[in-house]
Amino acid sequence: MSERTVLVTGAAGGLGRAFAEGFAARGDRVAVADINLEGARATAAALRESGAEAKAYGVDVTDPASTADLAAEVADFGNGRVDVVVNNAAIYATVSRSPFEEIDPAEWDLVMGVNLKGPWLVTRAMSPHLPAGARVVNLSSATVFSGSAHWAHYVASKGGVIALTRVLAKELGGRDITVNAIAPGFTLTEASYGLMDDAESYGVDRGSIKRSSQPEDIVGTALFLASPEAGYITGQTMVVDGGRQFI
């Protein structure tokens, strides 16, 4: 059993749950956090049934007090340290598609709050508990590089995640902590199926690899970035989209 403690936000379902499962399978102790506490508890229970050490936490990643409480609780779970932080929590499927002139400013603020402010607040709260060799993995999106009409708030928030990743890499590098981002392409999760009827075939024709992206395709990248083998990689964004675009 690994001595590492891994925090995954937004882990009640979808890609976040897949990340939690992936780290648990590697033997890590997993802190499952989500604003949906019941969903987080279900994920943690499933991990424990598989033999992993896991605990669920409720958190609002837009709230400094909530993220501070989470940091203290997860550090206690991890015997004083948090070795890996996966900032996965985001608003995605419920984001409305509108021309940029018609986006509701309240929705803009909500998307920015969860998708961009969230990773900043979570990492800020966790920072005192990150030892040398810790890893921070932020979730961006491949749509940052291609653009997506009528989705300015979502694309801008995920572009901000890349910028934040670079700054955090500079600031935490002196402590031997790496910070990287993953930019997935369209990946088949519960949320993605809810977006469109043709989710399984969407974008497949544009990829070099002619199949849809599964959560496991993204999980492997996170496991690598959180591994000792990735100790000299920081401030980078890894696009995982089956070769639909090259940057």
Give catalytic residue positions.
154
Tell which residue, 183, 86, 178, has the closest CA to residue 135: 178
Bridge partners (DSSP) listed for residue 58: 34
| Residue 201 structure tokens | 């075939």
Residues whose CB is less than 8 angstroms from the CB of residue 165 and which lie 6 or more positions away in sequence, other chains included: 138, 140, 179, 180, 181, 235, 237
Taking the mean position of all CA atoms in its chain, how far away is CA 34?
Answer: 11
Q: Are 107 and 161 in contact (CB under 8 A)?
A: no
Question: Pairing state of beta strands 84-87 and 5-9?
Answer: parallel
Distance, in Å, from the CA atom of 10 to the CA atom of 220, rounded to the nearest integer, reads: 18
Tell which residue, 200, 195, 205, 216, has the closest CA to residue 243: 205
Going through 21-166 in order, the beta strands assigned E by DSSP cover 29-34, 54-58, 84-87, 135-139
